[in-house]
Amino acid sequence: MSNEIDFIRSSLPQAQRPDRSRRVDVGGIEVSVVEWGDETSQPLLLAHGGFDFAGTWDLFAPLLAEQGFRVVAWDQRGHGDSDMADLYTWEADMRDAARVIESLGTSKPIPVLGHSKGGGMMNQLAEVLPHRVSAVINLDGIPNERGFTNQVDRSDVNALAAELSGWLDHRRKAGQMSRRADTIEGLAERRKLMNPRLSTEWLKYLVTVGARCDDDGWRWKIDPTLRFGPSGAWRPEWAIPRLRGLHVPYLGVIGTVKEEMGWGTTPEEAFPILPEGAEFHALADTGHFVHIERPDYVAEITNDFLGRVL
């Protein structure tokens, strides 16, 4: 089995596994934290998207480390090598991010970068902990007025009760389930249905870092109780004013090709809601995973931005 993993990873020599790994306690749950680059360099925090892993940075993070950053990422709770939880909320994910920053041992504010859900998290982190964040880079995680289909209005007691009841029913059913096992090729092909623009070579590589091999085959290291979309109540009109009101250097990057896992925000929707003075790039012929489709270019504009604002 190790020979197969080595062969798959050797097909992407530009991808690099982290230099270090550790675990951080976040109130009884441990999250897996990984790092690329010199421990004495400027920290840069990376937050992955939903149903992803810190391993999705294996193409992108080394490019940032080469520019002199200590690149730090973590598997969000319920994902990858982090512990599972009884319940999942946006607020818990935010506390985890703050605890990972605290574990770096620096009191100085640091730049943060997030993709998709991670981008939304880093938007809010800069708002609630402005003394800890020196700049924000958002990769295709900029909200729009259309929002998500499973929004819940907290002011509607009946709607909120139905959402909570539905979640508990799902939790009871899914709590005894496990993800369907498959081969490495099988998991890669299933993932390609949601990520059709990503190469099979990359998706097979992702299986080797984001899945585990059990006796009956490979399965993704993702809690089966997790569902797509925001955890609990979320409305775009809450996120958009917060984004517009940020007072840190801000870089927004979006892909212009719509995909199932993407937010679908257009340049026309994104530009007016960005913070004053923000830098913005809309990448032609690029999907949701901008840092995987075009790692060199996205790293270049990220390094250029950080070089000017730090």
CATH number of the domain where residue 297 is located: 3.40.50.1820
Q: What's the total number of domains in the chain? A: 1
In this prediction, residue 148 carries a pLDDT of: 54
- E-only strand ranges, the chain: 20-25, 30-36, 42-47, 69-74, 110-115, 133-139, 211-214, 217-220, 250-255, 279-283
pLDDT at position 174 is: 67
Tell me if 222 is assigned to some domain. no
What's the rounded Cα separation, in Å, for the pair 45 and 56?
14
Domain span holding position 75 = 2-149+232-309
159 found inside a domain: no
Query: What is the predicted pLDDT for the residue at 232?
Result: 52
In a domain, 213, yes or no: no
- Run of H or E residues at 200: helix 200-210
**Each residue's pLDDT tens digit, 181-225:** 999 999 999 999 999 999 999 999 999 999 999 999 999 999 988
In a domain, residue 105? The reply is yes
- Domain-located, residue 208: no
The answer to whether the beta carbons of residues 188 and 204 sit under 8 Å apart is yes
Q: DSSP characters for 118-136?
A: HHHHHHHHHHH-TTTEEEE
183/188 Cα distance (integer angstroms): 8
b/e sequence 216-232, b meaning 16+ C-beta within 10 Å: eebbbbbbbbbbeebbb
206 in a structural domain: no
**154 occurs within a structural domain:** no
Residue listed under structure tokens 């809601």: 273
**pLDDT for 209:** 97
Question: Closest Cα partner for 135 from 234, 32, 284, 277?
Answer: 277
Closest CA to 220 of 195, 188, 261: 188
Question: Which stretches of the chain drop beneath a pLDDT of 50?
Answer: none
- Per-residue confidence (pLDDT) for residue 220, from 0 to 100: 96
The one-letter amino acid at 45: L
β-strand pairing of 250-255 with 217-220: unpaired
- Judged by phi (left if over 0) then psi (alpha if -120 to 50, else beta), residue 170 lies in alpha
- pLDDT computed for residue 152 by the predictor: 55
| Residue 156 within any structural domain of the chain | no
Contact (Cβ atoms closer than 8 angstroms) between residue 124 and residue 248: no
pLDDT value of residue 145: 83
pTM of the model: 0.92
Half-sphere exposure in the Cβ direction for 209 (13 Å, CA)? 23
Is residue 124 within 8 A of residue 91, CB to CB? The reply is no
